[in-house]
A and B are shown apart, each in its own frame.
Chain A
Amino acid sequence: MNVNVTLIFGLENYKAVADAYLTGLDNWHCEDRPFAAATR
């Protein structure tokens, strides 16, 4: 699934969303799936 995050206001929220995004990629990679397929 391709995800677009909307309605981000404030630096703290940007950091929280970035952390959520990176954690999602980590979880994806932990299942032996290539980053390239998740970050096209």
Chain B
Amino acid sequence: MPALADLQNFGQSVWFDFIRRSLITSGELKALVAQGVRGVTSNPAIFEKAIAGSSDYDEEIKALAKTGPSVEAVYETLAIKDIQLAADELAPVYRSTGGRDGYVSLEVSPFLAADSGRTVAEAQRLFVTVGRPNLMIKIPATAESLPAITESIAAG
């Protein structure tokens, strides 16, 4: 048994703290899941490294740029596609564990971290837009975001 998978016998779930398009399309993430990885996390810094530090997204960015979207819209399009693809890779883990594992996380924009109401709205919008039950929405733990944590959990 791979060491990562063996950790599950000790109640530990290993998450992979990185994402990039080629990680998914190459089958590398699938292989990691087979070895015992139980979740994937992302954040804006990880996406910055993935998008600016690779050529994985060049063709899609060129295509998107033709319609004149904002930089934020391009980022969100690329990020959400990665999250959806990763969530699909982890869906079998999500199903086999009854929802205890198999998540991919996506962070609410840190620019909203001082605005609880907009954080809640953005969390709900992202959850609906991604459209995967095994999406986990990250909310920064600022003092202003505490009501957003409560409200988002209570919303179910």
- Report if A and B associate in a common complex: yes
Q: Which residues of A contact B48 (CB under 8 A)?
A: none
Kindly identify, within residues 1 to 40 of chain A, every residue whose CB is under 8 Å from any CB belonging to chain B: 1-9, 13, 16-17, 19-21, 23-25, 27-28, 33, 37-38, 40
In the complex, how many angstroms separate the beta carbon of A32 from the nearest chain B beta carbon? 12
Q: How far is the CA of A13 from the CA of B149 in the complex (A)?
A: 13
Structural contact, B124 and A6, CB atoms closer than 8 A: no
Chain A minimum-CB-distance residue to B149:
A20
Query: Contact at A5–B98, with CB atoms within 8 Å?
Result: no
Within 8 A of A (CB), among B99-155: 99-100, 103, 105, 107, 123-124, 127, 134-143, 146-147, 149-155
Contact of A28 with B153 in the complex, beta carbons under 8 Å: yes
Chain A contact residues: helix, strand, loop or mixed? helix
Give the complex CA separation of A27 and B156 in angstroms: 10
Which bucket holds chain B's interface residue count? 20 to 34
Distance between A18 CB and nearest chain B CB, rounded to angstroms: 10
Q: Which residues of A contact B105 (CB under 8 A)?
A: 4
With a cutoff of 8 Å between Cβ atoms, the chain A residues found around residue B152 in the complex are 1, 3, 24
Partner of A20, one of B138, B140, B150: B150
Within the complex, which residue of B41, B135, B153, B155 is in contact with A21, where a contact is CB–CB below 8 Å?
B153
Chain A residues with CB under 8 Å of chain B are 1-9, 13, 16-17, 19-21, 23-25, 27-28, 33, 37-38, 40
Subset of 9 A-B contacts with CB under 8 Å: A2-B134, A5-B139, A17-B146, A21-B153, A24-B152, A27-B153, A28-B154, A38-B153, A38-B156
- 7 extra A-B contacts, CB within 8 A, seeds A6-B107, A20-B146, A24-B150: A1-B124, A1-B155, A2-B137, A3-B152, A4-B136, A16-B146, A25-B154
